[in-house]
């Protein structure tokens, strides 16, 4: 068969398969369930969706009950898809079924430029006697995001991976929440594979080249999970206060290895106790009673229009870099509703990824015109509207878009920082407070400190500018950030000599 003909037939078959998938999805009854802290869109029926929302609320509440320093409200929106079966998951994430012998996931987690995406299947039966969460990978990702934004300083990497590993196996039952049941493959790895000396383990960072090796990461995750499990639950919980002291020292910016020794004791002694701990047959874990005040039957439910349901798939595919499926869903959504704002937001994401700046700007503008709820669409349109040496009209236009972004996400740090800068440029000195809000939300982000320093310098406050610029230099992770911070410090020094 000629190559061109074969390619044409293949494309036609893909188009037919995508169209059939969309028609099947459109036939599903989609609903939205809102709990106090989560929004779920589902084709799995009201009962299962309410249950999933209730479980997430219970996990969130138990986290803060056990660890008061936890800050579970994410700065970027979390979009949760609750899917009724494997076929539904395959429609959203076909790549897993395209791999021969590949994993058929019970849950998926992705982070896009606009929001976090969590997809969960409800057809995974869980025996009440089993203490292994079928959504382990999704809970790992959620726990990691919560942990990362709960402490202002960068956390030791062993602590991040180990704590999120423990949190990932959280199980919600009708009357209690279980934190920390063992993860069998971690125990097996610890008993079967060579272990890394603890003195080396605690020095590994997220930038360590060894982490690119799958076997190293497997062993590292098993050991860090075991270490945190030991420190939280071992010796009848006697080490838990020491672990809390370590967290406090880390939050204060203490050197992680020094904080480890000061709070937990000599590394060799901890390692000895850990080696004994992982050889035991029985492991304890934490149980917390469910919050009876969270009543799933009172969660409001809304029927989701067909176009909106199809657009959710378009967004999901856009973030997963599946442009064929995403564009097919966009077209179907617009057949159902020509004014579906989410379809334009999805199209804009695709065009942005393809670096088609002008077309992306037009798609974002259309999404905004049609009333999109996406804070990111407003923020990104502001970015694409910006010009070097902006006129007052441009400043006012960008100001309006950023204000709408914050209206749609009151935790949008980048929007606060930029809006504050623009407000100062427009003659409103109170814009500084918006930049400070951004720093509070994301204290490890160097760019917000740079904006604050620049504004302070423009306002004739070199001493305050120096503090922010020096903080930016300390927080900088890239050569560009370090160069910008140093250039600003130099400018501040020159201003001080004048």
**pLDDT for res 126:** 62
* pLDDT, tens only, 383-402: 999 998 999 999 999 999 99
Of 456, 459, 436, 460, the closest CA to residue 448 belongs to 436
1-27+304-372 folds as 1.25.40
- Does residue 25 contact residue 91 with C-beta atoms inside 8 Å? yes
3-class secondary-structure state, position 393? helix
Q: Where in the chain is the domain with CATH 1.25.40?
A: 1-27+304-372
pLDDT at position 203 over 70:
yes
Query: Which H or E element spans position 7?
Result: helix 3-27
Across 355-370, average pLDDT: 98
Which of 53-62, 191-200, 264-273, 422-431 is the least confident region? 191-200
Cβ neighbourhood burial of 355 (10 Å; 0-12, 13-18, 19+): exposed
- For residues 471 and 488, is the Cβ–Cβ distance under 8 A? no
* Angle, CA 31 vertex, CA 29 and CA 32 arms, to 5°: 165
Confidence of residue 498 (pLDDT cuts 50, 70, 90): low
Q: What is the mean pLDDT of the chain?
A: 91
Q: Out of 129-133, 143-147, 429-433, which region has the weakest mean confidence (pLDDT)?
A: 129-133
- Which pLDDT score is estimated for 125? 67
pLDDT (mean) for 99-120: 89
- Confidence band, pLDDT 50/70/90 cuts, at residue 82: very high
Interval 48-66: pLDDT, tens: 999 999 999 999 999 999 9
pLDDT above 90: residue 215: no
């Amino acid at each position: 068969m000629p190559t061109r003909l074969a390619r044409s037939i293949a494309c036609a078959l893909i188009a037919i398969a995508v169209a059939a998938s969309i028609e099947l999805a459109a036939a599903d009854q989609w609903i939205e369930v809102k709990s106090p802290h989560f929004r779920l869109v589902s084709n799995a029926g009201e009962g299962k969706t309410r249950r999933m929302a209730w479980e997430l609320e219970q996990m969130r509440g138990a986290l803060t009950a056990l660890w008061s320093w936890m800050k579970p409200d994410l700065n970027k929106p979390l979009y949760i898809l609750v899917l009724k079966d494997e076929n539904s998951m395959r429609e959203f994430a076909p790549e897993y079924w395209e791999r021969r012998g590949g994993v058929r996931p019970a849950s998926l987690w992705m982070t896009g430029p606009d929001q976090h995406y969590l997809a969960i299947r409800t057809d995974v039966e869980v025996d009440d006697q089993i203490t292994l969460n079928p959504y382990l990978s999704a809970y790992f990702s959620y726990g990691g995001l919560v942990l990362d934004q709960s402490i202002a300083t960068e956390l030791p990497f062993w602590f991040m991976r180990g704590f999120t590993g423990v949190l990932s196996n959280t199980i919600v039952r009708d009357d209690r929440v279980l934190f920390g049941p063992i993860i069998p493959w971690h125990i097996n790895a610890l008993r079967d594979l060579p272990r890394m000396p603890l003195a080396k383990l605690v020095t590994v960072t997220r930038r360590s080249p060894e982490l690119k090796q799958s076997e190293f990461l497997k062993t590292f995750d098993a050991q860090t999970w075991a270490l945190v499990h030991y420190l939280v639950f071992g010796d009848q919980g006697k080490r838990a206060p020491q672990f809390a002291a370590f967290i406090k020292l880390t939050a204060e910016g203490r050197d992680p290895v020094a904080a480890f020794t000061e709070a937990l004791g000599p590394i060799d002694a901890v390692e000895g106790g850990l080696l004994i701990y992982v050889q035991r047959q029985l492991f304890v874990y934490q149980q917390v009673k469910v919050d009876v005040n969270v009543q799933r039957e009172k969660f409001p439910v809304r029927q989701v229009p067909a176009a909106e349901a199809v657009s959710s798939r378009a967004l999901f595919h856009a973030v997963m870099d599946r442009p064929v499926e995403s564009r097919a869903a966009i077209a179907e959504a617009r057949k159902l509703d020509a004014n579906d704002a989410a379809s334009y937001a999805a199209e804009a994401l695709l065009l942005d990824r393809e670096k088609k700046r002008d077309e992306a700007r037009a798609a974002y503008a259309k999404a905004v015109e049609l009333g999109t709820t996406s804070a990111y669409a407003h923020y990104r349109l502001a970015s694409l509207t910006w010009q070097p040496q902006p006129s007052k009209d441009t400043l006012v236009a960008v100001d309006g878009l950023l204000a709408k972004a914050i209206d749609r996400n009151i935790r949008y740090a980048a929007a606060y920082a930029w809006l504050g800068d623009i407000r100062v440029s427009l003659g409103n000195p109170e814009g500084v407070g918006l930049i400070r809000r951004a720093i509070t939300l994301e204290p490890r982000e160097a760019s917000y400190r740079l904006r604050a320093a620049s504004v302070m310098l423009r306002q004739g406050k070199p001493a305050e500018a120096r503090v922010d610029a020096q903080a930016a230099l300390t927080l900088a992770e890239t050569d560009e950030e370090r160069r910008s911070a140093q250039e600003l410090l130099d400018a501040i020094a020159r201003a001080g000599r004048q």
